[in-house]
Structure formats: structure tokens, C-alpha cells
Amino acid sequence: MFWIRSGLHSISISDWLVAGPAVVPDAAELLADARAAMLDSLGPQADRNHALLIMRIRTARDAQSLWALRPELMNAACRLFGEGEGRKRLARVTSHFESLVPVARGAGKRRAAPIGAAR
């Protein structure tokens, strides 16, 4: 057998089956996905009533700028769909920021205390 004589006898099959380097998504692609998720969360009925917010989402330069627009997005979603649905939509948006903004990794796990709850 040629491969044994050529010095490959010390390599096992498991060495050949090792996964290659992890593919990291492009940051610009992740930012575009986050931007699209923010715009989708408002839905088509937000075009006229929230034109300024939509423009700010479309023109935000980086992930931090988009992250800073989340409170406004929450307010707009609550006005359009109610608070419960607004929270769900914002949670879906937040998941797009987990690899872009370090603060986003724990953002979905915190919950506000109910009004009147003892601290």
C-alpha cells in the first residue's frame, strides 16, 4: 500500500473527519438582518404614522445606532399592536443583535417587575 510507505501510516481516519474552521457570518449581513427585523416588526401599517422611525432605522450606520432605536421601536409596536404583541416583536428583533452588540446577549432574559410588586 502506497500510503503506508509514504509516511501517512501515523494519521488516523479521525484526523480526516475533524470539522473545518467555523464560518462566521459577515457583520454587514448581520446588520442588514437586524435592520430588516426591525422594519418587519412594525409591519406595513406603520408606513405613514412612523415614517421618521423607519427612516432612522434605514439610515442607522452601525449596530449600536440600531440598538439605540429599540425603545422607540417598542413604543411604536405597542401603539400599533398592543403591549403584549409589542414585547414579542421586540424579543424577535433582539435575537438578531446577540452577535452584534454584547449587551444584547442578556437583554431578553431580564423582565420588568410588575407594577405594585414588592422589591
The 10s digit of each residue's pLDDT in 59-77 is 999 999 999 999 999 999 9
80 contacts: CB under 8 Å, gap ≥ 6: 42, 43, 45, 46, 49, 86
How much is the average pLDDT of 29-54?
Answer: 90
Give residue 110's identity as a one-letter amino acid code: R
Q: Which of the pair, 2 or 103, is modelled with greater confidence?
A: 103
Cα separation, 86 vs 95, in Å, equals 15
How would residue 45 be classed by pLDDT, with cut points 50, 70 and 90? confident
Is the pLDDT at 106 greater than 80? The verdict is: no
Average pLDDT, the chain: 79
pTM beyond cutoff 0.85: no
Cα separation, 102 vs 82, in Å, equals 28
